[in-house]
Amino acid sequence: MTADLLYSDVEEDLRASVRSLLADHCEPAALLKRAESTEPYDLKLWRSLAADLGAAGLQVAEDRGGQGASAREIALVMEELGRSVAPVPFLGSTVLATNALLASGTDHELLGKLASGAATAALAVPLSTGPDRVKSTVDVSDGVLTGRVGTVADASVADFLVVPAGDGLYIVDTGFTVSELVSLDLTRRVADVTLSGARGTAIATGAAAAEALTAALTAGAALLASEQLGLADWCLEETVRYLKGRYQFGRPVGSFQALKHRLADLWLELVSARAAARYAADCLARRDPDLPVAAAVAQALCSEVAVHAAEECVQLHAGIGMTWEHPAHLYLKRAKANQIALGTAGRHRAALATLVDLPS
């Protein structure tokens, strides 16, 4: 079967619901206020999104408590979350932890809880970990986990952790501490996790655990591309809107060709990014063997397109773009953090070199 790179009507309906929910919660002023508060995550929004809209269970089968949709729909939610830089633990819980559980084949009750939005989890690896570089810093002996993992995404609101330790993959619900870090990305926090004598439930060991972890990170990379796409889309749209209305030298700044051509080029980058992100999501949904290539291509393209879009957004908004009150910086911070997340573009290109036989 060939890949479907379009959005279905059902997906567009889902987009509309997610977008209208996010519109109510992600006003720039509210985002900023929250970012500087002691509760950087919007858990009310999270409950509406995860439980009421059922977004947390889209990728999980119905008989395991989910919606029985697919990664394509998750990707769509990611697009919308990127467009609004929403402060919710979707990447950590719904994308990374849930995919780790799905890939391990476990029927642990946690999967159902994650799918229903009753609990959230985080995958205990540094957010910068790419699918090709998995290395555990947690020791395990007799099912007891000890160690420290830095910069874990969405850990500060996680009820559970999914932890790669020794040569296994474990679920941990107590016996760990989380210390918040000051994150570059104000709307997605990273935290240090310390496990000292946590009792874990093994859900996979040996090769199966390594495979599940790689699968989770590959799925993460494939889906993060959609968030990057959505983010870039917002930056372009907002910049175009602003430049149509901003007058200097007696005409709209957006009528100057030097700027029009930069925006046309950015739009062109987005056309490729959209196709690549959709292809990665579709490969993930169909378990296509081309997924590793698709995910690497999507990350190599989308992470750079998102950063470029956010940087252009700041530059073309000029003075106002440099302020704290204008949301452009929230997008730049998310875009730059995402560029590092789940493997940089450079690392994905290096992985591709092997995958498509272009050795160094």
Partner 1 sequence: MSLTADELRERTRKLLAEHDFSDRLAFLRARFDAGLAWVHFPEGLGGLDAPRALQSVVDAELAEAGAPDNDPRRIGIGLGMAAPTILRFGTDEQRKRYLRPLWTGEEVWCQLFSEPGAGSDLAALGTRAVRDGDNWVVTGQKVWTSSAHTARFAILVTRSNPDVPKHQGMTYFICDMHAPGVEVRPLRQITGEAEFNEVFLTEVRIPDANRLGEVGDGWRVAQTTLMNERVAIGGHAIPREGGMIGIAAKLWRERPELRTPELHDRLLRLWVRSEGVRLAGTRLRQQLAAGSPGPEGSAMKLAFSTLNQEISGLELEMLGEEGLRYDDWTMRRPDKVDFTGREAGYRYLRAKGNSIEGGTSEILRNIISERVLGLPSEPRVDKDVAWKDLPR
CA neighbor of 334 nearest in space, from 178, 113, 184: 184
Q: Rounded to whole angstroms, how far apart are CA atoms 220 and 291?
A: 12
Return the residues of window 179-238 that contact partner 1 according to CB under 8 A. Answer: 236
Q: Which is nearer to partner 1, 5 or 322 (CB)?
A: 5
Q: Is 356 in the site for partner 1 (CB under 8 A)?
A: yes
What residue type is 356 in one-letter code? V
Return the residues of window 229-288 that contact partner 1 according to CB under 8 A. Answer: 236, 240, 243-244, 251-252, 254-257, 259-261, 263-265, 267-268, 271-276, 278-279
Residues 6 or more apart whose CB falls under 8 angstroms from that of 322 comprise 314, 329
Q: Which two tokens stand for residue 291?
A: 């997924």
- Shortest distance, position 345 Cβ to partner 1, whole Å: 8
Which residue is associated with the tokens 């509406």? 48
Q: Is 358 in the site for partner 1 (CB under 8 A)?
A: yes
198, exposed or middle or buried, with CB in 10 Å at 0-12, 13-18, 19+?
A: buried
Return the residues of window 125-144 that contact partner 1 according to CB under 8 A. Answer: none
Q: Is 337 in the site for partner 1 (CB under 8 A)?
A: no
Q: Which is nearer to partner 1, 197 or 245 (CB)?
A: 245
Q: Which is nearer to partner 1, 247 or 324 (CB)?
A: 247
Choosing from 53, 69, 297, 332, the residue that interacts with partner 1 (CB under 8 A) is: 297
Q: Is 307 in the site for partner 1 (CB under 8 A)?
A: no
Helices (H), the chain: 9-25, 28-35, 43-47, 71-84, 98-104, 109-116, 206-245, 257-286, 291-321, 328-340, 345-355
Q: Rounded to whole angstroms, how far apart are CA atoms 21 and 94?
A: 18
Q: Is 352 in the site for partner 1 (CB under 8 A)?
A: yes
CA neighbor of 125 nearest in space, from 169, 83, 81: 169
- Shortest distance, position 226 Cβ to partner 1, whole Å: 14
- Shortest distance, position 59 Cβ to partner 1, whole Å: 22
Residues forming contacts to partner 1 in the complex (CB under 8 A) are 3-6, 236, 240, 243-244, 251-252, 254-257, 259-261, 263-265, 267-268, 271-276, 278-279, 297, 300-301, 349-350, 352-353, 356-360
